[in-house]
Amino acid sequence: MSKNALLHIGFAIADQVVRSPYGALVMLGLFFLVIGIQAHSRTCAYVGAVVLILLMTQA
């Protein structure tokens, strides 16, 4: 699969996530989780994980 096709699929998935009722918070939680893991920051990763867990309990 080409890089352009993967990018298009990624944008389509992100668009659907943002359009969901909790889309912005899901993106924020994923952002903190990924940045925390890559930066080896437990606090940042925990914040992202807690946001995602709280959203899952509300769904």
Query: For residue 16, how many other CB atoms are within 10 A of its CB?
Result: 10
Q: Taking the domains of the chain in order of start, what are their residue ranges?
A: 3-58
- CA 26 to chain centroid, in Å, comes to 5
> How far is the C-alpha of 38 from the C-alpha of 36, rounded, in Å?
6
pLDDT tens digit string along 4-58?
A: 787 788 778 777 777 878 888 888 898 899 999 999 999 999 999 999 999 889 8
Q: Is the dihedral of CA 10, 12, 16, 22 positive or negative?
A: positive
Q: What pLDDT does 22 receive?
A: 80
